[in-house]
């Protein structure tokens, strides 16, 4: 598992437990053992379930953990997600952190699945964005992929995306493309006008980002490009409009809402004494 994910889990545990779960320490005898299970309380797409092993391993006191489903599985209300057995104190102190990750990440996966389903039957793929919770990007992007969409770049380091402020700083569309060509990385450029579109194509751009167009405008611009470059559409695209954008002929549609506005799903943890 990636070090960033392990770090996120350990930070979450330290944030919640701190110097110790005083409620459980005073309330529950140290020798008490228990079992527990995670339960879906609504229809959802599961994500983050592998983190349970990381969480319990970090705290110790667990005898057995059984994952009953995997990321990307579609669950219904009442489905059990995982079972665990061990120290009652450990189960109690890990409960909230485990639920926070499962509820948040499964919420992202569920919303991602809605976006992916909305474009079925078109050639268009849905992309996520960098609009993620600070420190949780790798987890949220994995959850988005579990929901059925395609991950865009992970960060500023793995692909070039020239946006309007980069164009201004570089001195124009052509200059921005020429300056970045030597990187050897994938290059995408945002264009906001027909003139910028034509200049980008004349400069050899092969991946265009068209931002804040209406579906009708997007279709017009796609016809102008005529397959000379792949096209991504972005800008306020939601579940109500994404189908219209996908039908414009674009190759990709990106939606920040998948990660920045996904509501947590309802998952509970039930504990039983042994």
Beta strand 125-127 with 44-45 is: unpaired
Choosing from 73, 188, 190, 199, which is the catalytic residue?
Answer: 190
Catalytic residue status for 178: no
The end-to-end CA distance of the chain, in Å, is 32
Which one is catalytic: 32, 130, 131, 174? Answer: 131
Residue pointed to by tokens 């995670």: 38
Is 190 one of the annotated active-site residues of the chain? yes
Classify burial at 226, counting beta carbons within 10 Å of its beta carbon; exposed 0-12, middle 13-18, buried 19 or more: exposed
Which listed residue (41, 85, 96, 174) is catalytic?
96
Q: Active-site residue among 79, 178, 211, 247?
A: 211
- Whether 226 is catalytic is no
Residue matched to tokens 């751009």: 205
182 a catalytic residue: no
| Rounded Cα–Cα distance for residues 48 and 38 (Å) | 12
Active site (annotated) includes residue 211: yes
Query: Catalytic: which of 163, 174, 192, 243?
Result: 163
**Among 83, 37, 84, which residue's Cα sits nearest to residue 60?**
84
Tell whether the torsion through CA atoms of 58, 133, 3 and 36 is positive or negative. positive
Which residues form the catalytic set?
96, 131, 163, 190, 211
């Amino acid at each position: 598992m990636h070090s960033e994910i392990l770090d996120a889990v350990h930070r979450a545990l330290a944030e919640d437990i701190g110097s110790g779960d005083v409620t459980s320490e005073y309330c529950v005898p140290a020798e008490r053992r228990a079992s527990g299970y995670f339960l879906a309380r609504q229809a959802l797409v599961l994500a983050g379930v592998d983190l349970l092993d990381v969480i319990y391993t970090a705290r110790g006191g667990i005898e057995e953990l059984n994952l009953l489903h995997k990321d990307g599985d579609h669950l219904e209300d009442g489905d059990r997600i995982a079972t665990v057995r061990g120290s009652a104190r450990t189960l109690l102190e890990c409960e909230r952190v485990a639920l926070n990750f499962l509820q948040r990440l499964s919420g992202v996966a569920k919303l991602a699945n809605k976006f992916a389903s909305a474009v079925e039957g078109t050639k268009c793929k849905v992309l996520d964005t960098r609009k993620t919770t600070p420190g949780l990007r790798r987890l949220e992007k994995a959850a988005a992929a579990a929901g059925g969409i395609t991950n865009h770049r992970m960060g500023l380091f793995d692909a070039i995306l020239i946006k309007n402020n980069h164009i201004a700083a570089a001195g124009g569309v052509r200059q921005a493309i020429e300056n970045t060509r030597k990187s050897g990385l994938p290059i995408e450029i945002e264009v906001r006008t027909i003139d910028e579109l034509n200049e980008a194509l004349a400069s050899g751009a092969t991946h265009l980002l068209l931002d804040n167009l209406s579906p009708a405008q997007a279709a017009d611009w796609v016809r102008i490009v005529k397959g000379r470059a792949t096209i991504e559409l972005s800008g306020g695209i939601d579940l109500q409009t994404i189908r219209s954008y996908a039908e414009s002929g674009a190759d990709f549609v990106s939606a920040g809402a998948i990660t920045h506005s996904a509501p947590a799903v309802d998952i509970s943890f039930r504990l039983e004494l042994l």
